[in-house]
Amino acid sequence: MPAPTTNLEFHGRTVTVMGLGGFGGGVGAVRFLAETGAKVIVTDLRSERELSPSLAQMDRAWPITLRLGQHDEADFRNTDLVVVSPAVPKNSPFLAVARDAGIPLTSELNLFWERNRGRVLAITGSNGKSTTTALTHAILESDRAPRRCWLGGNIGISLLPDVRRIQPEDWVILELSSFQLEDLAPLQPRPEIAVVTNFSPNHLDRHGTVEAYRAAKQNLLCWQATEQFAVVNALSEVADWPTVATRLLFGPSDSGQLGIFGEGSEVMARMPAESSCELRMPLRRWLRLPGTHNWQNAQAAIAASLAAGASLEAIEQGVSNFRGLPHRLEFVADVQGRRCFNDSKSTTPEATVLALKSFDEPTVLLAGGYDKLIDLSAIAATAVTRCRAVALLGQTGPRLGKLIEQAARAANVAGPICRGFESLAPAVAWSLQESGPGDIVLLSPGCASYDWFQNYIERGEAFTAFVAAHAASKG
């Protein structure tokens, strides 16, 4: 369990960073520790080649020892602190070595949380948290208030090296995963504004049960105070999660409660009287992102921004100028009339269902990947009604194919053509072949990428490169 390190002096101490990774947290921790005078041991099971993008961000002058491709028990016994990547399983035998030796364990985010002086607006959820986080930051960055906004967390940015620059009046906008929230629990996190986009079973390979996964997510709300805000989805169970904070709902129907509501051309925000009372906003005109789920993400971001004191002008500017994030329903290219979209960030069935429902055109779907032990039947049922064909990928491909067959029989329809693949390149070529002009070719896996790729970014970049090659070859 992570230990408090607020008063720990790092200068001259040995610190082991377990898991360099490729999403910023490992490099951020190394940078912070090296710049405070620690002697850092970086240990990761991946090779130097696999970690080359992260290693390129590190200064050769830093006092660092690299232990790549393996772990050494001595690095967990003869050290003063172990900074653990959220992706490392809690039952790792090397963590057991550190515990038996009395070595404290912590994480990059915990180090930041203990030292951060800024006001925290934190976002979690099973789906949509990255887009909601980035859009909230875009809105608050557009405000003319004399304060600075910082973006970080699970979105791939470590704020730990900048923690000393963050002032008490600044807003810190953090995306938090269930892994990070599990680690934060000993610190009893209490963000001024907490946002939960939704909840559905995920990461059961790590958490073991839905209850444990839910408990990790609920760590964002359970220590809040009455003067703080909890922005929660009215259409999800998260609307009823326990918190003493002021609850702001978002959803399609106005329930007369505080929050933001609407599903047509505009939304209405009802905030506490001391904030801004009621506001109407033409969200349909402002929002450029497709899909009902992005409408909900925008509602959540607007409610959180209003709670943070953002002006109506900042909301309009932030939403209108926001073009989405890479790998989230990102338009890639038009290949002979086939519009290709990269939704590699879709690592849950719910995200894939939402992506499919964003289009009315016939769709060829590329789905499947690493098996997180979650139910894929929602993808299958939606694919039967919306897909022309499905390219089955990775470990879960065969199981997804059987679920699609079962769903088609249950609906008494032929169902989409399905074919399994052992790599992404032929899956892309087949998807373009099976589609026609006016169709959508959609990479929205609904699963993690770890069986074929290091992460969803590498998967999305590969898809984009393969599509671009086909677009170039077709002129």
CATH number at residue 56: 3.40.50.720
265 and 121 belong to one structural domain: yes
For 376, residues 6+ apart whose C-beta sits below 8 A from its C-beta are 349, 396, 399, 400, 403, 446, 447
Strand partners, 441: 340, 364
Distance (Å, rounded) from C-alpha 4 to C-alpha 453?
34
- Looking up residue 257, the CATH number of its domain turns out to be 3.40.1190.10
308 and 256 belong to one structural domain: yes
375 and 302 belong to one structural domain: no
Distance (Å, rounded) from C-alpha 84 to C-alpha 91?
12
121 and 102 belong to one structural domain: no
Does residue 146 lie within any of the structural domains?
A: yes
36 and 154 belong to one structural domain: no
pLDDT at 278: 84
Q: Widest CA span of the chain, in angstroms? A: 70
3-state secondary structure at position 157: strand
315 and 369 belong to one structural domain: no
Does residue 53 lie within any of the structural domains?
A: yes
Task: Read off the tokens for 355.
Answer: 């992506």
pLDDT at 24: 74
Give the residue from 255, 288, 321 where a domain finishes. 321
pLDDT at 25: 84
What pTM does this model have? 0.87
Count up the domains in the chain and report the number: 3
3-state secondary structure at position 367: strand
Consecutive sets of 10 residues in the chain, 475 residues long: mean pLDDT of each? Answer: 62 96 87 95 93 90 94 98 94 97 97 97 96 97 89 95 96 97 97 97 90 97 98 98 98 93 95 75 94 95 96 97 92 96 94 94 97 95 98 98 98 97 98 98 96 93 98 86
Distance (Å, rounded) from C-alpha 80 to C-alpha 9?
10
212 and 361 belong to one structural domain: no
Helices (H), 196-309: 204-207, 210-218, 283-286, 292-307
223 and 337 belong to one structural domain: no
Is residue 139 within a helix (H) or strand (E), and if so which, with residue range? Answer: helix 129-142
Give the residue from 321, 352, 368 where a domain finishes. 321
Does residue 26 lie within any of the structural domains?
A: yes
Does residue 9 lie within any of the structural domains?
A: no
145 and 56 belong to one structural domain: no
Distance (Å, rounded) from C-alpha 150 to C-alpha 337?
40
Give the residue from 321, 355, 376 where a domain finishes. 321
Print the domain residue range for 283.
115-321
155 and 304 belong to one structural domain: yes
Does residue 430 lie within any of the structural domains?
A: yes
237 and 260 belong to one structural domain: yes
Does residue 3 lie within any of the structural domains?
A: no
